[in-house]
Amino acid sequence: MKRISVILTVLLIGSSFSFTPAQHTQKLLQQDNIEAVKWLSWEEAMALSQKEKKKILLNVYTEWCGWCKRMDKATFQEPNLARYINDHFYPVKFDAEQRAEMEYKGKTYKYVKNGQRGYHELAAELLKGRLSFPTVVFLDEDMDVIQSIVGYKTPQQFERIATYFAGGHYKKTPWSTYQAAYRPVLVSDE
């Protein structure tokens, strides 16, 4: 009997260390019926925006970008932030090296081969030729670029950015003023 208790204790302790933080987060998301950001295709977002006007959050990435992957895991899977993004934007994940043709404002954009890799003309257009990843582009309800935000952002940093654009604060309040006055409500400063 003592032997069974020892074995069960060892198994219980061992299993408690077998969950990684990512698994724990995923488990919490499933338990609370919360999901990470629900990424749409470009075409889906365009179709939805015809029915109901909403800003677009365009996550521009590449497959080889390590900081893009980190932002996907850390920032875009933070439950409260993900819920906020899903509620206030049409979130689109856009591979800057994809080969499919895309339409934007009546123009067709294509993939351009450049050495071993290449780039998509739409990525170059939206990023104004500055192909740096990750970059998040905010488009207004008329599909005009509001702003591009370059580089990895933590959930805490991205909360400020997302609320600034979703709430329309960018129209009247300078970023430095908004950032200094903003108090986080979605993501804790851990």
Nearest 5°: phi and psi at 137?
-110, 130
Q: Strand pairing partners for 137?
A: 58, 148
pLDDT of residue 50: 93
Report strand pairing: 117-120 vs 111-114: antiparallel
Q: What is the pLDDT along the chain (190 residues), one digit of tens a residue?
A: 555 444 444 444 443 333 333 343 344 444 455 579 999 999 999 999 999 999 999 999 999 999 999 999 999 999 999 999 999 999 999 999 999 999 999 999 999 999 889 999 999 999 999 999 999 999 999 999 999 999 999 999 999 999 999 999 999 999 999 999 999 999 987 5
Q: Tell whether the torsion through CA atoms of 70, 72, 151 and 121 is positive or negative.
A: positive
pLDDT of residue 25: 37
pLDDT of residue 13: 41
pLDDT of residue 3: 54
- DSSP letter at 169 equals G
Instruction: Give the chain's end-to-end CA distance (angstroms, integer).
Output: 44
> For residues 96 and 119, is the Cβ–Cβ distance under 8 A?
yes
Q: Show the domains of the chain with their CATH numbers.
A: 39-181 (3.40.30.10)
pLDDT of residue 34: 57
pLDDT of residue 173: 97
pLDDT of residue 33: 53
pLDDT of residue 188: 83
Residue 20 identity: T
Q: How far apart are CA 82 and CA 71, in angstroms?
A: 12
